[in-house]
C-alpha cells in the first residue's frame, strides 16, 4: 500500500495498482487499523506494553 506509485511505475500487479477505487481500500485499511488498536486496548495490558507491541506491528507493515 505504501509504494503504490513505485509499483505502478514498475508494472507490478497488486490490489492497489489494479483497483478503480483506491480510497475504498485506504478507508478499509484505516478501519482495520482502528479495530486492531481498540482490540489491543481491551486486552488489559499496560499502555507501555501496548505501545511497544504497536511499534513492532507498524514495523512489519512498513517493511
Q: What confidence tens digit (pLDDT) does each residue in 22-61 have? A: 888 889 888 988 998 889 889 888 989 988 888 887 766 6
Domain that holds residue 45: 4-62
Phi, psi dihedral angles at 31 (to 5 degrees): -65, -45
Beta carbons of 31 and 24 less than 8 angstroms apart: no
What separation in angstroms does the CA of 23 have from each of 6, 19, 43, 62?
18, 9, 31, 19
CA–CA separation, 50 and 53 (whole Å):
5
CA angle 26, 30, 31 (to 5 degrees): 115
- Please give the average per-residue pLDDT across 6-27, as a whole number: 84
Number of domains in the chain: 1
Confidence class for position 1, pLDDT limits 50, 70, 90: low
Amino acid at each position: 500500500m505504501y509504494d503504490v506509485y513505485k509499483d505502478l511505475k514498475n508494472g507490478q500487479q497488486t490490489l492497489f495498482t489494479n483497483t478503480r477505487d483506491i480510497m475504498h481500500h485506504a478507508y478499509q485499511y484505516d478501519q482495520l487499523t482502528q479495530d486492531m488498536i481498540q482490540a489491543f486496548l481491551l486486552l488489559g495490558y499496560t499502555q507501555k506494553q501496548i505501545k511497544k507491541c504497536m511499534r513492532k506491528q507498524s514495523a512489519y507493515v512498513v517493511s
